[in-house]
Structure 1
C-alpha cells in the first residue's frame, strides 16, 4: 500500500476561460471542483492506475467536508484528521488560448500540536502495511520545518521508503533525514541549494542525504541522480495543456515503481509519460490515457556526471 501525506490539503477550483485578460471580466467556460493538495493528487493518480493507496490529510470546516466528499465520491481511500481551522482552497484559471495556468493558493489553517500528534499517530499505524510513504506539498502555519523529517525518520525505522516533494526549509530539513527520493522542480532545486546548474544542484542534494534526486525541469523533462546512475528523461516533443499537477504525476510514477520493484530507467519513463499525459488533462490528479500509453515506452538516456544539462 502506498501512503500519501498531505499536510495542507485544498479544495481545488479550476476555471477555464477562452483567454485570460487582466483588468477585465470573463465568462467561465468550465468549472472543476475536487479534493487537492499535492499528496491527494498523487493518491488520485495511483487510484486511477489501480494501485493500493490511502491519502492521509487534515480536514477542517465546510471546505474539509467538501474535500472528504470528493474523495468518497471517487473511491479514494483516506484517513482524515480534524482541524479547528477551515481547510484552504486553491483557484486555477486555465487560459485555453495560450495553455497557461494562473494559480492562487490560500495559506491554509494553523495546525495545533494535538492535531499534528494525531496525524503522526495515524501515519505510524499505516506504516505497518505501507510499501512507500509519499510526503508532498507545503506545510500549514505553525507546523515546524522539520515535520517531514519527523515522518521520514519514522518511516525509516519501519523500513518503508520515503518520497519527499517539498520546497524551501521543509525540503532542506527533510533531506537531512535521508529520504529515499526527493522531487524538486527546477526553481525549488536552485532555491534550496543556491546552485543554478540542475545537475550540480541535484548532486548537492544527493550528497546532503537524499538517496535519489529527481528534478522536474518543465519541458526539458526529468533529471535523476540515483544509486543506479544519473539519467535524463523527456517526452519526444513539448505538449500544450495545463501543467498543474504534472509534478505530482511524476511522484506517483516513482512511488508506483518502488511499490512494484521496477528499475530506475523504467520509473523515469513512466514518470515522463504520466506527467506529459497530465498536461493534456483538464485538472491535477488526472491524465489523458491515450497520451500516457503512447509515451509509456519512451527512451531514457544515461548521463555522465559531468554532462551539461542546460
Structure 2
C-alpha cells in the first residue's frame, strides 16, 4: 500500500487575472478550486499513474466533506482524523499577462494534543511491511517540528519505506530518522546544510553529504534548470524541459509521485530521473493543482531521457 500523509491540507483557490495591479480593484478572469496539500496532490497524480494510495492526516470545518467527496469521486481511499478547527484555504494568483505567480498560504488550524495522539496511533496501525509512506508538506502551528522524525521512525519500525518532502526544521528533524528518499529543492538544500550554492558542483556536494548520512536517494528539484538525482550508485542530472507554463504549484508533488512510480515499477536511476523530470514538466503545463496524467508524462519522456547525464 502507498500511504500519503498531509498534516495541513488546503483548499487551493486559483485566481487568473489579466495584468494584476496592486492597490486597485482587479477583476478575476477565471477561478478554480482544487483539494490540495502536498500528500493529497501526490495521491491525485498516483491515481492518474494507475497506482492506488490512501490519504491520511487532518480535516475539519466547511471543507471536510468536500475533500472526502472529491477523493471518493476520484476513487482515492482516505482515512483522516476529524478535527475541531477549519481546514485552511490557500490562494494562488496568476497574472496572465506578466506570467507572475503569487501564493498566499494560510497557517492552518490548531491541532490539539488529543487529535495529534489519535492520528499517531492510527498511523502506527496503518503502516505495514513493504508499504511506501510519503510524508509531505508543512504542518499547523501547534504540531511539533520533529513530527516527521516520529512518523518516519514508526513507519520504518513497521517495515515501510519512507519518502520525505519537507523544508526547514521539519526536514532537518525528519532526516535524523533516515527516511529512504528525500526531495528537497535548491533552496531547501541550501537551508538544510547552511551552504552557499553557486553551481551544480555545490548541489552535488550537498546531495552527497545527505546521502552519507544514511539516506539512500536524494532528488533535488531545480525548477526550469532541471533536477539532480544522487543514489548509492549514481550521480545524475537532468536538463530542464522547455514547456508552456500555466502554474508552478504541484510540480514537486508530481516528482514525488514519480519516485513512488519508479519504486513500484522497479525503474533504474536513469529511468527514475527521466520520469520525475517529465512529471514535473507535465505538471506546470496545467492550471491550478490539476494532476498530470500518465499520457502527458509519457509524451515528454523521450525528451527527458535525452537530457539525462552523469554529473561532471
Normalised to the residue count of structure 1, the TM-score between the two structures is 0.92
Q: Hey, what's the Cα distance between the residues in 2 that align with 1:264 and 1:122?
A: 34
Q: Which residue of 1 aligns with 2:67?
A: 67
CA distance in 2, matches of 1:237, 1:282: 17
For the Cα contact (< 8 Å) 1:249–1:285, is it kept in 2? no
Match of 1:247 among 252, 269, 292: 252
Structure 1 regions of 5+ residues with no counterpart?
Answer: none
**Post-superposition shift, 1:291?**
4.2
Does 2:92 match 1:92? yes
Match of 2:200 in 1: none
Residue equivalent to 2:155: 155
After superposition, what is the alpha-carbon deviation per residue over 1:240-292, rounded to whole angstroms, capped at 9, x for unaligned?
22111100000000011112222121111111111101000112242266642
TM-score between both structures, scaled by the size of structure 2: 0.92
Which aligned segments of 4 or more residues in structure 1 are displaced greater than 6 angstroms?
Answer: none
Q: Which residue pairs with 1:7 in the alignment? A: 7
SS in 2 for 1:29: strand
- Structure 2, unaligned runs of 5 or more: 198-202
Q: In 2 relative to 1, CA 140–84 (structure 1 residues): closer, same or farther, beyond 3 Å?
A: same
Counterparts of residues 125-274 of structure 1 (less than 5 Å): 125-128=125-128, 131-197=131-197, 198-274=203-279
Using the TM superposition, give the Cα deviation of residue 94 of structure 1 relative to its aligned residue in structure 2, in angstroms. 1.4
CA distance in 2, matches of 1:238, 1:75: 30
Say which of 285, 288, 296 aligns to 2:301. 296
Give me the whole-angstrom Cα distance separating, in 1, the residues matched to 2:164 and 2:308: 24
CA deviation vs aligned residue, 1:36-70 (integer Å, no higher than 9, x gap):
00001000000111211111120111123332232
Over the aligned positions, Cα root-mean-square deviation in angstroms equals 1.8
Number of matched pairs: 305
**Equivalent pair of 1:17/1:96 in contact (CA under 8 Å):** yes
Partners of 2:150 and 2:290 lie apart in 1 by: 26
1:152 to partner: Cα distance = 0.8
The offset of 1:104, in angstroms, is 0.5
Q: Is the 8 A contact 1:176 1:210 kept in 2?
A: no
Cα displacement (A) at 1:71: 1.8
Three-state SS of the structure 2 residue aligned to 1:243 is coil
* Kept after mapping to 2: 8 A contact 1:245/1:278: yes
